[in-house]
Amino acid sequence: MSLEWRARPLSLAWSNPVAWWWGFLTLVSAANIAIWVALYRQFGEQPAGALSTSSEIGLMLLLCAGYVFGCAFRSFLPRADVQRICLFDTWLSSVVVGRSVATIAELCFAAQWAVILNQLGAMTSADTTLNVALVIVPLLVIAECFSWYAVLTTNYLGNAIENSLWAVAFFLVGIGLCRLLPEFHGAVRIMLIAAIACTVLYLAFLVTVDVPMYLNRWRTGRARGKVHLRLFDGLRDVSTRWIVTHDLSEWKEEIAWMSLYFSGAVWASLALVVFCALGDQLPRYRNEEATSPHSQMLVVNHTQPTPRTN
């Protein structure tokens, strides 16, 4: 297997902006792997019973590994699925391999959010958050189906629907996080606010950049009379055809979302592991005065009239 840049029309030349972009992705991914290893040593090697949430932390580390290493693979061997373009001439750059890795990684990321929302929802008895935890993985499984449809048929409408479903999923995540705000104070409340802010930025990117980009490609294809592949023909195509290119014009629309996705989204995955590891300390930041049954009983008793005594 060769990872050399095919000389068409340029070789491994750092004067090419695409080479600098690939170097950035590689450097970030290597750092992300190093951070995951550090987290594993910190939390994954704890003796049994040392942490009450050890089973959850183990699951979160496993899910995070799926996402971190999956995104690192996609960073080392970038490809754009529908266009069938890649940077390196190797079968590992085939769309069927890359899309399979991406599917596993993205479902791991979705499952991480489900675990965290379930943990917080159960702690606070927040039904809204618990319901979001239940629906986010099934919703994103549907999104992955549309992604595969787009990849196999080369129909960008599938990508537009896929990313719209991601927007719906994280809109629900934002609602679930907002529901938790009154339940916590201090550092946990600050972390929730930061997560909500990042979710809003992600939604803004999807709605203003990502989904419109795919819709525009779909409309352009329709205007040109593009003929889409049938599913079985597409399956053969993604398994056997990849086009090596280092032309910036071919990659320019992919650079923004890939750079953000393989950096910021992976950092979010790593942060979820840290947050899960703080599970034993979360009760310290609960607003117990406003939520405990005992405090509510005191309020009720205080508002009832005092009976007369003779």
How far CA 222 is from CA of 75, 82, 226, in Å, comes to 31, 15, 6
Segment 116-168, tens digit of pLDDT = 999 999 989 999 999 999 999 999 999 999 999 999 999 999 999 999 999 99
Q: How far apart are the first and last CA of the chain?
A: 96
**Best CA proximity match to 222, nearest among 154, 146, 144:** 154
Q: Quote the percentage of the chain above a pLDDT of 70.
A: 85
Residue with tokens 């373009």: 85
Q: Note whether 242 and 93 are within 8 A (CB).
A: yes
Amino acid of residue 53: T
Instruction: Compute the mean pLDDT over every residue in the chain, rounded to the nearest whole number.
Output: 87
Count other Cβ atoms within 10 Å, centred on residue 92. Answer: 16
Q: Note whether 182 and 285 are within 8 A (CB).
A: no
Give the global pTM.
0.86
List the strands of the sheet with 85-86, edge to edge: 79-80, 85-86, 243-244
What's residue 14's pLDDT?
77
Segment 233-289, tens digit of pLDDT = 999 999 999 999 999 999 999 999 999 999 999 999 999 999 988 877 888 878 865
Contacts of residue 289, defined as CB under 8 A and 6 or more positions apart, other chains included, come to 295
